[in-house]
Amino acid sequence: MTTNLQDRVDLTAVTRAAANAAKAGAASSDVERAGWLAAVADALDAHVDELVELADAETRLGPVRLKGEVARTTGQLRLFARVITEGSYLEAVIDHSVPSATPPAPDLRRVLKPVGPVAVFSASNFPFAFSVAGGDTASALAVGCPVIVKAHSGHLQLSIRTAEIVTQALTDAGAPEGIFALVSGRENGTALVQDPAVKAVGFTGSIPGGRALFDLAVSRPDPIPFYGELGSLNPVVITEGALSTRAAELAEGLAASFTLGAGQFCTKPGLVFVPAGTGFAGEVAAIANTKPGAPMLTDRISDAYPKGLQDLAAQAGVAVVGGTVDQYATADGAAAVVLSTTAETVLEHPDALLEECFGPTTLLIEYRDRAELERALGVLPGNLTATVHAQPGEDVSGLVDQLSELAGRVLFNGWPTGVAVNWAQQHGGPWPATTSLFTSVGATAVRRFQRPVAYQDAPQELLHPALRDGNPLGIPRRVDGVLALP
């Protein structure tokens, strides 16, 4: 492949091929699609050393991190293969006719069906798990939706090679032509969102970029769902009991979490609420100062990090407790910075202080009492995660209720970096964390790319197999209001 996809890709031909493949994708069986996913996972595993070398050259994330990310990526593909063969993802519901009801009730049967071609925008910070063959692609292919991936410019060569491997694996597994494609370039990305053949979009990236594409998606003549993961501050609340009992442990954990991967995780703890007058910020800074600087993903991100630090440090009431905001991250790597302020300052200037700074930094916010803490939490935007560190016996029920309104995942006595890929995961949250209520990680990510269809008094032979009498697929279903297990 050449390095400039934009010069050689006919986007209309790509989307037309995807539209043609959508019918075959929808008609394919769960077992067939599970085979596609397994084939892609096996192919990526077989090329792991080659792919990690390419990824390291473009992202500077290091072979250890990248090899682990490939394992997560292939694990996601295999998870979705299990999800679709288990069958509950179809949400099959059968209500038999009740002629004696008032009014008489017909036979109604509902199932989820694929929406059609999906555009997927790769993320900068996860070149495998949220990229060409990442969770969005896996979950869309799992339910039979063709996927067109818009490559991220930060790892274009890796994207091209990954797409070659995915395409060959799908072809060898018998997937229909046009079920998967890769394009690049901002113009193609914008055009994808507007193309009539595209029926949904998955995006991971910045708030400004995501908002612009979201607005395009909903302003189309035929608006489509836009599932964007955009930004998150991931607040952490440390209670007085927790801090007095295990301050050193908390300082170590926080420093490790916010500097992990040069602070380039969407779940980095960016805001930490601590009791006033404890000196905890200094403890965190002392540990963070021992962390070496680390290269960031791209020069653009490296240039933006010091600027974001300087903007925060320039705000009245904000102090730099550890590290320096005057750094040259592009050449020297990003160094850890610990900032501190008060809940009162946050309440006075929320717009200035509640901005995500992508990189190894965190803002510690001192609160005087529970009432002030709750007021400060009340001005926070939506988040992917929220965390509580408390001791047994402390009443944090009100805090947990408040944090549950702010985030899609609430953690207890842990740190938010690290996202398990399983059935229970929720990786989403209120705006601006995401643009929807659905998760982008875990089993129910497939729900984003399905739509419900109900069939009334339909002949058996015309029904989806999940809705036929006798349960030929052997899957969980709800029949006449009762959950029926196979």
Active site residues: 229, 266
Cα separation of 435 and 469, whole Å?
Answer: 38
Q: What is each CA distance from 200 to 81, 135, 217, 237, in whole angstroms?
A: 21, 15, 8, 36
Query: Which residues, 6 or more positions from 332, have their beta carbon under 8 angstroms from its beta carbon?
Result: 293
- Quick one: CA dihedral 391, 397, 398, 401, positive or negative? positive
Cα separation of 204 and 116, whole Å?
Answer: 20
Q: Catalogue the long-range contacts made by 29-34 (C-beta closer than 8 Å, 24 or more residues apart).
A: 30/84, 30/85, 30/87, 30/473, 31/85, 32/174, 33/81, 33/84, 33/141, 33/142, 33/143, 33/144, 34/81, 34/82, 34/84, 34/85, 34/142
| Max CA pair span of the chain | 78
Cα separation of 180 and 280, whole Å?
Answer: 50
- Quick one: CA dihedral 349, 323, 273, 260, positive or negative? positive
Both tokens of residue 54?
A: 């390419």
Closest CA to 345 of 319, 310, 306: 319
Q: Are 272 and 238 in contact (CB under 8 A)?
A: yes
Q: For residue 4, how many other CB atoms are within 10 A of its CB?
A: 12
Q: Are 338 and 272 in contact (CB under 8 A)?
A: no
Q: State the first-to-last Cα distance of the chain, in angstroms, to the nearest integer.
A: 47
The beta strand positions in 268-424, using DSSP E, are 271-275, 319-322, 337-342, 361-367, 383-389, 407-412
Q: Are 78 and 71 in contact (CB under 8 A)?
A: no
Cα separation of 337 and 444, whole Å?
Answer: 37
Can you tell me whether residue 150 is helix, strand or coil? strand
Q: What is each CA distance from 266 to 124, 262, 358, in whole angstroms?
A: 11, 12, 9
Residue with tokens 């501050």: 233
